[in-house]
Structure 1
Amino acid sequence: MKQTILNIQNLKCGGCANTIITRMETLEGVTEVIVNNDTHTVGFKYNTDNQLETAIALLSTLGYPVEGASNPLTKKAKSFVSCAVGRIKS
């Protein structure tokens, strides 16, 4: 099993973290998801490079693209929605 820590954009609070953890744990082969709001990182374990790519794509879809990736206003808006959903469910 491989492990990674990704620097992500638009991470603001526990609501964001809750959404990221909840959604990433639904991915096959992705486990032990940890979000650090202070360092703007998400760490997790995975088995294949395809699972890593799927996780990165999901983060972007939720509004949390990896550092250095495109971060248009639409991604920032999605992160606010994900944040609100995470706050409601926490």
Structure 2
Amino acid sequence: MKTETILVENIKCGGCMNSIKQRLLGLTGVLSININKDESRVTIDHTGSLKRQVFVKELTHMGYPEVGSENSLLTQAKSYVSCAVGRLSEEK
């Protein structure tokens, strides 16, 4: 098992966390996800078949870029959409 820890931008609430967990757990080889909202930290346990960059790309696509990367207005808007989707799926 391998663990990746990525510090990301734009995690605001449980909806954001739920979206991130759902998306990353959908990747083959991901075993578990732990998110610390206060520290903006995403920790991924996986089989080692995936490279760190795959996780960074997925997170960025959802609106949660790695700290130090570009965090444009468009990226921030994507995070709000991902957050809303995460909140809706929490209510089911």
**TM-score normalised to the size of structure 1?**
0.93
Give the number of equivalent residue pairs: 89
Distance 2:81 2:61 in 1: 11
Runs of 4+ in structure 1 off by over 6 angstroms are none
1:44 is matched with: 44
| Structure 2 stretches lacking a partner, 5+ long | none
Q: 1:38 aligns to what SS in structure 2?
A: coil
* Higher mean displacement: 27-36 or 15-24: 27-36
Q: Distance in 2 between matches of 1:41 and 1:80?
A: 18
Partner residue of 1:32?
A: 32
5+ long unaligned stretches in structure 1: none
8 Å Cα contact 1:17/1:86 also seen in 2 = yes
Structure 1 residue aligned with 2:87:
87
RMSD of Structure 2 on Structure 1 (CA) = 1.0
TM-score, normalization by structure 2: 0.91
